[in-house]
Amino acid sequence: MKKIDVQKPEGKLGVLIVGVGGAVASTFVVGTLATRKGLTTPIGSITQLSTIKLEDGGEATAPKIKDVLPIAKLDDIVFGGWDIFEENVYEGATHAKVLEQKDLEGVKDELKAIKPMKAAFINDYVTRLHGTWTKVAPTKWDLMLQIKEDIATFKKANNCSRIVVIWSASTEVYVPMTETHMSLASLQKAMKENSPEIAPSMLYAYAAIDSGVPFINGAPALTVDMPAMWDLAEQNQVPVCGKDYKTGQTLLKTVLSPMLHTRMLGLRGWFSTNILGNRDGEVLDDPASFKTKEVSKLSVLDTILKPSEYPELYGNIYHKVRINYYPPRGDNKEGWDNLDIVGWMGYPMQIKVDFLCRDSILAAPLLLDLVLLADLSKRCGFSGIQHWLSFYFKSPMHELDKQPVHDIFAQNVMLRNKMREIIGVDYRSNID
């Protein structure tokens, strides 16, 4: 094993969030600030809570990850970002109604101080929202340049040694991958020509990477998931990862389908429906935005179940995913799944799962882990797609000729073995 030479996490780490005033982002910011004040526990965060088994010649130990992996300290984080509304993060969190008011009070001043920069927003890509705090520029290329400037300004103003950019804004309409996204040259040309194939999220990704800053894509859009961006990332020695935080229904799907596969139980149908009332639900009520999400959600089963290898078990699966905007529930999403499974001699059985979850509560710890691990990747000298972070995503990025790993337990092993490699311990566990 080649030793990885990790740069120490010295100085401030600027965390710039696209959609910083939204439900997910504000929940992440509140919880992180409250954690560092000792007011709460960052439940759901692997980096903050979990242990890791290590065994180096001698005896096995299981220290906390945060004590052995050289990630940034929460105290060193400085939050900032962009939003299409001018509200500060305190106002954003209040409107999002994810957290109870009493849970905001302890960090009220810090939240009020986080004021969004103007967003690069184009209504055609998120038709249900109407931004009022947005940049103006003649071309998309110019918008991108403004974002680069924002990053540089923030870094200097806040005396940061490193920056990470994370996308936590709404799902854009479906933009399929075309020739435009294949090379850096064609991508740049399209940006300058205001091509419809350039969605705003791509501008943030380009700006970040071109600034040498890691970029994390929490939504299902193309954004950074294209050869042109991967080339740019390699050129700039920048790690990127995505896409679409693995929460709720897909989380369960990547848990239950491995069970079926491991036990060689057949599957005839999987019906998934969601009701949710937050801005995400509103945006996904637009069929074009839903298309983006649907593509992200559907691929999961095939790669886990391998129908081509097991045609008698998985050769004829009817898989349907529905998302329904349902205002009475607010941010409290509910996912209802029905699985029609098949056992011994072809006898049918059913599993139904009702998940009364909270979108932002499930997502927030993923953001915390991802900004810390993306920053760590950069300091490790990693660049391009970070496959080891697949654990966090519904639709892990992968080279065009490869298959992603969706099984959450397999992803977990990948994540932890890479952590061990960074820590410098030559032990690969297969049971984490």
Smallest separation, CB 262 to its own copies (Å): 5
310 binds its own copies (CB under 8 A): yes
Q: By CB under 8 A, which span of 67-75, 167-175, 214-222, 250-258 interacts with its own copies?
A: 250-258
In the chain, % helix, strand, coil (3-state, to 5) comes to 45, 20, 35
Structure tokens at 29: 């910011």
308 binds its own copies (CB under 8 A): no
CA distances from 311 to 262, 266, 317 (A): 15, 10, 10
Nearest residue (CB) to its own copies, 122 versus 305: 305
Q: By CB under 8 A, which span of 8-16, 115-123, 150-158, 305-313 interacts with its own copies?
A: 305-313
Half-sphere exposure of 346 (CA within 13 A, CB side): 1
- Give SS3 for 225: coil
Nearest residue (CB) to its own copies, 157 versus 255: 255
Half-sphere exposure of 302 (CA within 13 A, CB side): 13
Structure tokens at 47: 């980096």
**Could you say which residues in the range 343-362 bind its own copies, by CB under 8 A?**
343-347, 349-358, 360-362
Q: Is 57 exposed, middle or buried (0-12, 13-18, 19+ CB in 10 A)?
A: exposed
Nearest residue (CB) to its own copies, 57 versus 328: 328
Among residues 146, 324, 398, 427, the one that binds its own copies under rule CB under 8 A: 324
326 binds its own copies (CB under 8 A): yes
340 binds its own copies (CB under 8 A): yes
**Could you say which residues in the range 61-80 bind its own copies, by CB under 8 A?**
62
Segment holding 83, helix H or strand E: strand 77-83
Q: By CB under 8 A, which span of 109-117, 147-155, 213-221, 423-431 interacts with its own copies?
A: 423-431
Nearest residue (CB) to its own copies, 160 versus 423: 423
Among residues 61, 259, 381, 399, the one that binds its own copies under rule CB under 8 A: 259
41 binds its own copies (CB under 8 A): yes
**Could you say which residues in the range 363-392 bind its own copies, by CB under 8 A?**
364-365
Amino acid at site 50: S
Residues in contact with 53: Cβ distance below 8 Å, sequence separation at least 6, in sequence order: 60, 61, 62, 427, 429, 432
- Give SS3 for 9: coil
What distance in Å separates the CA atoms of residue 219 and residue 394, rounded to the nearest whole number? 9
What distance in Å separates the CA atoms of residue 107 and residue 33, rounded to the nearest whole number? 7
Please tell me what DSSP assigns to residue 81: E
Size of the site for its own copies (CB under 8 A): 84
Q: By CB under 8 A, which span of 135-143, 174-182, 202-210, 248-256 interacts with its own copies?
A: 248-256
Segment holding 352, helix H or strand E: strand 348-356
- Give SS3 for 307: coil
Q: By CB under 8 A, which span of 39-47, 119-127, 144-152, 191-199 interacts with its own copies?
A: 39-47
**Could you say which residues in the range 5-34 bind its own copies, by CB under 8 A?**
27, 30-31, 34
305 binds its own copies (CB under 8 A): no
Smallest separation, CB 369 to its own copies (Å): 9
